[in-house]
Structure formats: C-alpha cells, structure tokens
Structure 1
Amino acid sequence: MKQLKKIKIQLTSPNSSINKFDHLLKSKGFQMYILTLILSVLIGYCISLILIRNKSFSHTKFSNINGSIQLFENGHVAEHNGQDSLTSSFRINQIYSNDIYHVQLLFEKFLSSKAFIGIIQSKNEQSKLHGWSIHNHRPEEDSIFQLLRKFYSFLFSSQLKSYEIQDINEGATIEIVIDCINSKILLKNTQTNTLSQLNIDQEEFRLPWQIYISLNHYGDRVRLQ
C-alpha cells in the first residue's frame, strides 16, 4: 500500500516526467512546431503533385506527323503549314489502354472546313477512326449548308457510330476524355459548354488507342494544355 502511494506521489509531482511531457504538449511553442511540421508536409505533398503533373505533361507531346504539319515548343504546338484543303494529321504520343484519361487542346487558330479529332488504334496503321469531324462555325453560312451538315452528321452517326460533326470556333479549348474502362470517348467544348459522347465496341476497335487529329487549312494551330 505504501508503495502504491509512493508511486502516486511520484506521478503527480510537478517534476515527474509525465507532468513535464503534459506541460510540453500544452506549450504554445510545441503546438506551433507541430503546426509548422504539418504545413511543411502538406506543402511538400502539393509540390510533388505539381512536379509529377509537369513531368507527365513534358512527356506528352504531338507526334506521328503525316503531311504538312510543323511542331513547335518541344512538340506541344502543332501547325498546318501546307496548302489549304490539304489534309494533314498528327497524334498525341500517349498510349491509352486501361484507365480514364483527360487531354485538353486549345485551338489557337482554326479555319479548317474538314478537320477531325478522335482516336485511332495505336498498333494498326489501317485502323478506322472514331471521333468527331470538326468545323469552324461561321455565322455567314447559309441555312441550307447548315441543314446539309446536320443531315450528314445524322447519317453517319446513326449508321457507323464512329463520328459526329461538331462546331469549334477559334480560341476554343477542347477536352477529350478517353475512357478505356467503359469503352467510350467524350468531347467537351469549354467555350460552348457542350458535351458529346461516342461508345466504342472494343471487339471491333481494340485497345490500345491514341488521339488522332487532322487539319486542312494553312495556319491552323493547336496547343496541348
């Protein structure tokens, strides 16, 4: 019994190690140290995420040029430098096979009347395309021409399910979502806040895929974002 009282006195003594530790925990200096440590860890984590994203972006670039396309800024900008109506194409070098991917493109200059953005089978050079025929909408187009384009879009989208026609204006940012898990691709136009989706039959159009872009007007310019 005396031994227990002795232990109790030692524990409750102001000079005991437990009381000293409790005092340390309650001190403002220690609390500020812990807060600073937590903030440092969070800042370090955010910086690492930014570095990982920048590293990934630096490895993502345009490639596989076919025709009159010139690349700038380490492959992050592609420009049509041939004659008008001469269709030329290029791809994004990333291979998509087992996840959901997001890619943003800025159409800095765009006057093409017959361009395309979508996907191609990366291992099949004879692969057909799935995606969107894109066109720079101009207000001066007469209503008959617009009606014909809508009919053309309906005809091919209903029969082939491989592409649709989309209006894209100069300066528009387009986000392409490649969903390998659910076998579909999506096109988001941030300028018009529109969304288009195409389902892909993986039995006919096998993975892996690449993003494929074609332009047909001199000076058209696309930037990876």
Structure 2
Amino acid sequence: MAGILGRKGEFSPETKQSMTFLQSKPPPAATIIPPSSPNPLESSKVEEGRESIATTIAYEGTGGCLSCGADDDHANLLICEACNGEFHTYCLDPPLRCVPDGDFYCDNCKPLQKLKDLDNLDTLINALPPAITSRFGEIVWAAGGVGFGWWPACIYDPRLTVGGARSLAKKHLGKKHLVYFFECNDAPFTVLGNAKIVNWEEGYME
C-alpha cells in the first residue's frame, strides 16, 4: 500500500476537495463506458436510454413538478423511481386521474428501464449475498486504474449502468466487484477481486 501514500501526495487541491465530497456521495449513475464490442442489447432502445440518462442529471436536485414548475399539491405529485424527477398526475401526457399503484417511471426513463429488464440483471443481483451488495457505493482504494497503481474508486452497483460496463459486471457477477475509478474518464470502469480493493480508512493508515 506504499503506492497509495505516494499517490496521495500528487493530488491537486481541487482533487483533494472533490475526493472529500465523494466519500459521502458516489459518482452519478449517468457515467457509463461505451461498449468495446457489439452487444445484442444495443439497439435504438439503448440510445434512447442513454439520452434519458443525460436528462436524469438535470432532474436531480430540482424540486417541484418538472412539467409546470410548481412545487405544490404534493398528494398528486409522482416521483420517478429512476431519476427522482417529480410530476403532477394531471401534468403528464396523458394525464392520470389518481396516483397509480406500483413504481412510476417518467417518459424519459421508461426506455432505459425496459432495456434493463431484458438481461435479468436485477434478479441476479437480488440473489447475491449481502456481503457483496452491501458494498455498493463504498468509496475505496483500488489497484488497477489505467496508468495508475492504487487509486480512489467506488464499488459500483451494476444496475445503474448500461452498455459495456453492465455487460462486464454481469460476466463477473458474484466473483468480482464492478469498480469506478475517479478522474479516469477514458476507462473509468473495471472489475476487481477483494485482493485489489482496500477500504478508504485502511488505505490512509497504511
């Protein structure tokens, strides 16, 4: 772990500040890697899904109905399960007379949700032991970043990805973690075993 301490000294002030923030908040779900080879799930629905992810970024952190802009009548305000966007039932197209039962997905997120349902990944992850799923979102030090040794990373929930990262995670599901490297935009995702992952506090102490 000596490499961690060496790397730590190379971070810029801006990077240190962003890393402190990231300890309490994982990277946005919108960040994905492009597939390195054709995927049978890649289709027009995938492209629609990717466009909807960009919309999700704009939705997060906003309050009130995204159609009319009013933050009122909360009894008739629906929240999208995917992007957390808020919509009045009567502002939808077509409008709804009442709050529906079950999960609600806005028009932008429906294509992505349908795509995710095709590969059965949700079911596979739900069958994994808590020792694996409880680490989703954990900020760690990981060895294997492109061009780096030990590097700040996040153990990523595969359900929040599409394309190449999703396929990679599914292939190694239950054996290795899907890891997202911070500030490695060219190739942010990889899969790593426990031997190449150290929790954040332990990495600093060593």
> What TM-score bracket applies, with the shorter chain setting the length?
under 0.3
**Higher RCO, 1 or 2 (CA under 8 Å, sep at least 6)?**
1
Q: TM-score, normalized by length of structure 2?
A: 0.21
Higher strand share: 1
